[in-house]
Amino acid sequence: MMIPEINGERFAEFTLPEGCLLCGGEVTIRATPAGANSYCPACHWLSRPRMKVKGNGLELTYSATASA
C-alpha cells in the first residue's frame, strides 16, 4: 500500500458527509504527522481539529474560542 506524500510529508485525506459544524456540508480532512486540517467547500470554513483514534474510528474535536 502506498502512502501519499506532499513535499516529503506523509498524509491521509478523507471526507465526512454532513461533517461541517457550521453548515452541515461535507468536510474534507487532511491528516499529517503535524496534525489535522479540515475544509468545508460549501461555507469555506477552515479549521484545525484534534484527531485521535477511538476503537474502530476517529474522534475529531474542535476547540471554541471567543473574544469580547
Higher pLDDT, 7 or 43: 43
Rounded to two decimals, the pTM is: 0.72
Residue 21, all three cell numbers: 459544524
Residue 16, all three cell numbers: 465526512
Domain-by-domain residue ranges, the chain? Answer: 12-61
C-alpha 54/C-alpha 63 separation (Å) is 18
DSSP letter (8 states) at residue 11 = -
pLDDT single digits (tens) 6-17:
556 677 889 999
pLDDT at 3 over 80: no
Higher pLDDT, 11 or 3: 11
